[in-house]
A = this chain, B = another copy of it.
Amino acid sequence: MEDELLLMLPGPVPLPERVRSAMARQAINHRGAEFGNAYADIVRVLKDLFGTKNNPLVISGSGTSGMEAAVSNFGKGRKIAHLINGKFGERMYTIGQRYASEALPVVSDWGTPLNLEALKSALEGGCEVVTMVHNETSAGILNPGEEVGKICRKYDALFIMDGVTSIGGDNVQADKWGVDVAVVGSQKCLAAPAGLAAVSVSGRAWERAVNNPPYYLDLMAYKKNAAKDPMETPYTPAVPLFLALREACLIIEEEGIEKRILRHHKMAKAVRSAVGAWGLDMFPKIDAFHQYSNTVTAVCIPPNSNDKDFRGTVKNFSIQIAGGQDHLKDKIFRIGHMGAVSAPELLATLAATEFAIRKTGHKVTDSGVMAAAEVLG
């Protein structure tokens, strides 16, 4: 048993007690008013988090099911340009290859800016759909939704944005930016359990919806059932997860969206201050359009250390941070700071991480914990 390990990952994240308790409810009829009201509460809050007037549709499946729903319902048989600068951008491309008439990867190194010039060339070459991961957790970089949205509109392409780890924790304005299809996962910034994905769809995208996407991911069926009163899903939904997500959404509403985003920004700033004090390098290379992620911070691991020992030291304090994925294993570590996470968890995590850094023999410039405290206090 890994009893009560504090998860400081880019999801899943710790769950507020209210959210966990909501799942203990006895089974209810998923075609009745109680379920419909829960779904309606979720939609009301998510709309604001997505920055859209369109009602997000909720799928019982992981964030990946939401990504596949987006790509299959709007990209099937079309030429798709996939912006890639990390693992989840690559996953979008892998999904695109199953549906597109041609899937075109527009590749940058992980954690470096997207190649927007290459995107424009792809669009001039006839790409009708563009996918982008807004917050690329594998590399800790925040990609430019607004800028890519503008480019897509200019070429009249549909813009699919994976907001799995930004929506609910950072500023997203789907309608204003020109995002046609946006996706969020429940277990990230929303601080609900894993197992649900929500997808918003613009009117423009509905007009271009394809026929015969996968049956389980057919968004038109979700739309039809969500229009019923009470609201329904086309297939039996994961009821406890809806009840948990509803509670998580009510908590978000109570906190206030603006305050919630500011809290995430503040936590991110605190972690970045710690990284500076430690004398370590941030992993992503940013520019005018690309920023450091505000929900997960990716840091170059101290010299002469390895992932297993480094994160093992942190884990001795019952805290789990993330390592690098694929070719970034042993190269970076990542601290998630999304969802309900706040000052106490963050201070403890930075203290344990600083201990691990010192243990590698790396001489820190200053106390990262105190630098973070300056920001958080």
Contact = CB atoms under 8 A, between A and B. Distances in A.
Interface residues of A, number: 55
Given A60-B195, A64-B216, A26 B30 contact: no
A193 B60 CA distance: 12
A34 B2 CA distance: 6
> In terms of DSSP, what is the predominant structure of the interface of chain A?
loop
A235 interface: yes
A314 interface: no
Contact of A32 (B2, B13, B15, B64): B2
Copies of chain A in the complex: 2
Contacts of A217: 214, 216
Contact of A15 (B21, B27, B33): B27
B236 A12 contact: yes
Interface stretch (A3-11, A113-121, A283-291): A3-11
A2 B63 CA distance: 30
A238 interface: yes
Given A193-B240, A195-B195, A215-B68, A28 B5 contact: yes
Contact of A235 (B64, B215, B239, B241): B64
B2 A28 contact: yes
Interface in A60-117: 60-65, 68, 72, 94-95, 98
Contacts of A72: 214
A97 B216 CA distance: 13
B27 A187 contact: yes
Which of A1, A241, A320 has its CB near the most chain B CB atoms (within 10 A)?
Answer: A241
Contact of A240 (B1, B23, B235): B23
A29 interface: yes
Contacts of A32: 2, 5
Contact of A94 (B2, B34, B215): B215
B237 A27 contact: no
A157 to B, nearest CB: 22
A306 B244 CA distance: 36
Interface of A: 1-2, 4-5, 7, 9, 11-15, 20-21, 23-30, 32-34, 60-65, 68, 72, 94-95, 98, 185, 187, 193-196, 212, 214-217, 235-241, 244, 320
A268 to B, nearest CB: 21
B34 A26 contact: no
Given A5-B29, A241-B238, A64 B215 contact: yes
Which 5 residue pairs across A and B have the least CB separation, nearest first? A195-B238, A23-B23, A64-B235, A62-B235, A214-B214
Given A187-B236, A195-B237, 17 more contacts: A7-B29, A12-B27, A20-B23, A20-B25, A29-B320, A61-B216, A64-B215, A65-B216, A68-B215, A72-B214, A95-B215, A193-B240, A194-B236, A195-B241, A214-B217, A240-B240, A241-B241
B24 A21 contact: yes
Contacts of A195: 60, 195, 236-241
Nearest to A28: B2
A244 B236 contact: no
A20 B26 contact: yes
Determine which residue in A62, A216, A239 has the highest number of CB atoms from chain B within 10 A of its CB, and name it.
A216
Contacts of A25: 20
